[in-house]
Amino acid sequence: MELDMIVNEVEYHLDIDPRLRLLDVLRDYLKLTGTKEGCGEGECGACTVIMDDLAVNSCLVLAHQARGKRIITIEALEKDGELDSLQKAFIDHGAVQCGYCTPGMLMSCKALLIKNPNPTEEEIRIAIEGNLCRCTGYTKIIRAVQEAAAQK
Amino acid sequence: MAAMVVKTPSTIDELLACMKDADENTYYISGGTDFMIKLRKNRIYSGTIIDLKGIPALRYIKKENGIIRIGGNTTFTEIVGNKIMQKHAACVVQAASQIGSTQIRNAATIGGNVANAFAGADSIPALMVLDAKVVVLKSDGESYEKDMDGIVLGAGQNSLGHDEVIVEIQIPVLDEGYRTAFAKIGSRSRVTIAKLNMAAVVKCRGDGSTIEEARIVLGALGPKAFRSGKAEEVLVGRTISKDLCMAFQNALTAQVDESIASRSSWAYKREAVKGLADEVFDKLFQDVLTGGRA
């Protein structure tokens, strides 16, 4: 079945199996493998991408539901070789260890900052409540988001 | 075996055309957050998926003639941020804000949550306690209204036919003097599936001290949410106090004993419901208990 969507500002015309998830299309068709699959049931947030400015679990979106939508994945945060301020803040604060949750975590935080450039700590916690990290813990991540927000 | 087909109507007319051929292998999806898991877990490889989410006409919240109308495609994020809902349906906002995670609330919709009819769904008790009505569209273009209890049959079952879709939820606006609250208990404080949930509506006398009317709905206690007469009885006509909260807790424990005494979760839930009762009572009457209305 044909599917048109915009991923990281690029228009795609695809012909895909109708059962596929947005996650499968991003990873297997577009080779945007920065988006990770963790639990596959909306629990861990590793697959988080931004769809029309909102964070969603790409494992719970039928690919065809993304028709005509604007999708942003982790690959688009870096611009011209320069990391996004949020990515830099994650590095500076040691908010990355094994890194598996990081793309999803960054996309949840990015979606928050798009909507709310000056979030409170509570708002940051709610934004990442659907992202599990099993090594760094959340405090360093929250500090990194606060710093990225302060820089703007 | 026929392959899977996805139909993507963008208007009600297109939807009606899609619904005409619907059969037992037709799956209506809105947010899709529950369906995508079922699609894979139940190994569904054929049939027709009709995606309702692409119909903007089913996404709205408006207040008209004493009724709040919520389009079936309205997401929980939209409900949480909506001023009409915050003002007139606090228990639904409280329930919506505790559904899944930010990512889930951005996708999941109220129509989908009701149709999914999960026993632990958070929106269902909150809507039931407000006497919400569900508007169902049929493939012939006619629609009918049914109360929540008629739509939700329990444990993943709804009353909808193959060619019927939830298009709107209607909540009657309560008069001044009513208070509502929702609370849930799960295995953790956030992003959790309810082990128990509860929604309450009470009407207090003008000075706020005595309860004149009470509706209490319990969810995740058996296959579908239901009103607890035991818990309601104990509140009506009584003065708001700490003692009343204890009586409320005990009535709910008795309700758990009556409802699920043979279940393995009984021993836990008969105690846990007291904490839930305490939270609901506090949300309803915090200002009265601490003196002076907020």
B197-231 pLDDT tens trace: 999 999 998 777 899 999 999 999 999 999 999 99
* Residue numbers of B between 188 and 217 with CB closer than 8 Å to A: 190-191
Nearest-CB residue to A45 (from B35, B49, B101): B101
Contact B6 A64 (CB under 8 A): yes
Last residue of a domain, one of A59, A76, A93: A76
Residue pair B168/B148 in contact (Cβ under 8 Å)? The answer is: no
Going from the N-terminus, what domains does chain B have, and what CATH number goes with each?
4-54 (3.30.43), 57-172 (3.30.465.10), 178-289 (3.30.390.50)
Subunit contact A64:B32, Cβ cutoff 8 A: no
DSSP B141: S
Percent of chain B whose predicted confidence (pLDDT) is above 90 = 90
- Nearest chain A residue to B5 by CA: give it: A18
A56 and B107: CB-CB below 8 Å?
Answer: yes
Q: What is the pLDDT of residue B290?
A: 83
Same domain? For A50 and A100 the reply is no
Same domain? For A46 and A100 the reply is no
Q: What is the distance between the alpha carbons of residues B185 and B188, in angstroms, rounded to a whole number?
A: 8
| Whether residue A65 is found in the same domain as residue A101 | no
Q: Specify the pLDDT at position B236.
A: 97
In this prediction, residue B292 carries a pLDDT of 55
How many domains does chain A fold into?
2
Nearest to B36 by CA among A25, A28, A59: A59
pLDDT averaged per 10 residues in sequence order, chain A, 152 residues: 96 97 98 98 97 98 98 97 97 96 98 97 98 92 97 80
pLDDT digits (tens, 9 = 90+) for A55-83: 999 999 999 999 999 999 999 999 999 99
Beta strands B26-29 and B47-51 are parallel
Question: Are A96 and A61 in a shared domain?
Answer: no
Q: What gap in Å lies between CA A54 and CA B108, rounded to an integer?
A: 12
- Looking at residue B294, its pLDDT comes to 44
Do residue B36 and residue A62 have CB atoms under 8 angstroms apart? Answer: yes
To 10 degrees, what angle do helices A102-115 and A85-92 make?
Answer: 130
Task: Write the CATH number for A30.
Answer: 3.10.20.30
Mutate to test the interface with A, among B26, B53, B102 (most CBs of A within 10 A): B102
**Phi/psi of residue B190, each to 5°?**
-130, 165
Q: What is the pLDDT of residue B1?
A: 57
State how far the Cα of B114 lies from the Cα of B166, in Å rounded to an integer: 8
Q: Number of A to B CB contacts under 8 A, please give it.
A: 85
Same domain membership, residue A118 and residue A66:
no
Task: Judge: B107–A61 Cβ closer than 8 Å, yes or no.
Answer: yes
DSSP string, chain A: -EEEEEETTEEEEEE--TT-BHHHIIIIIS--TTSPPSSSSSSS-TTEEEETTEEEETTSSBGGGGTT-EEE-GGGTSBTTB--HHHHHHHHTT--SS-SSHHHHHHHHHHHHHH-SS--HHHHHHHTTT---SSS-SHHHHHHHHHHHHH-
Backbone φ, ψ for residue B81 (5° rounding): -90, 5
Mean pLDDT of B120-129: 97
Task: Provide, as residue numbers in chain A, all residues whose Cβ is less than 8 Å from the Cβ of B8.
Answer: 64, 67
Please name the residues between 213 and 232 in chain B that touch chain A, using a CB distance below 8 Å: none
Please check the confidence at residue B293 and state whether its pLDDT lies above 70: no
B37 pLDDT above the threshold of 80: yes
CA distance A13 to A50: 19
Task: Dump pLDDT digits (tens) for B83-107.
Answer: 999 999 999 999 999 999 999 999 9
Last-in-domain residue among A13, A48, A76: A76
Q: Residue B106: its pLDDT value, please?
A: 98
Residues A99 and A135 in one domain: yes
Q: Best of B75, B101, B116, B193 to disrupt the A interface by mutation (most A CBs within 10 Å)?
A: B101
Which residues of chain A are within 8 Å of residue B3 when distances are taken between CB atoms? 18
pLDDT of residue B208: 73
pTM, two decimals, is 0.96
* Integer angstrom CA distances of residue A40 from A24, A36, A114, B27, B73: 11, 10, 26, 20, 23
| CATH number of the domain enclosing A136 | 1.10.150.120
* Whether residue A42 sits in one domain with residue A97: no
Average pLDDT, whole number, for chain B?
95
Tell me, yes or no, whether A70 and A89 share the same domain.
Answer: no
Q: Which residue has the higher pLDDT, B3 or A111?
A: A111
| Chain B nearest-CA residue for A46 | B103
**Is A18 in contact with B3 (Cβ distance < 8 A)?**
yes
- Domain end among A45, A76, A107: A76
The string of pLDDT tens digits covering residues B13-23 is 999 999 999 99
Q: Does A110 touch chain B (CB under 8 A)?
A: no
CA A64 to chain B, closest CA, distance in angstroms equals 8
Strand partners, B137: B143, B165
Which residues form the domain of A62? 2-76
Same domain, A8 and A30: yes
Nearest CB partner across the interface for B100, out of A17, A18, A42: A42
CA distance B214 to B110: 25
The number of angstroms, rounded, from the C-alpha of B37 to the middle of its chain's C-alpha atoms is: 20
> Residue range B224-242: average pLDDT?
96
**Prediction ipTM score:** 0.97
| Inter-chain touch B36–A64, beta carbons under 8 Å | no
Question: Does one domain contain both A114 and A89?
Answer: yes
Q: Does A136 touch chain B (CB under 8 A)?
A: no
Min Cα distance A97 → chain B (Å) is 23
Q: Does residue A120 share a domain with residue A67?
A: no
CB contact under 8 A, B191 and A129: yes
B163: Cβ contacts below 8 Å, ≥ 6 apart? B19, B20, B22, B138, B139
* Separation CA B73–CA B52 (nearest Å): 7
Domain check: are A6 and A70 in the same one? Answer: yes
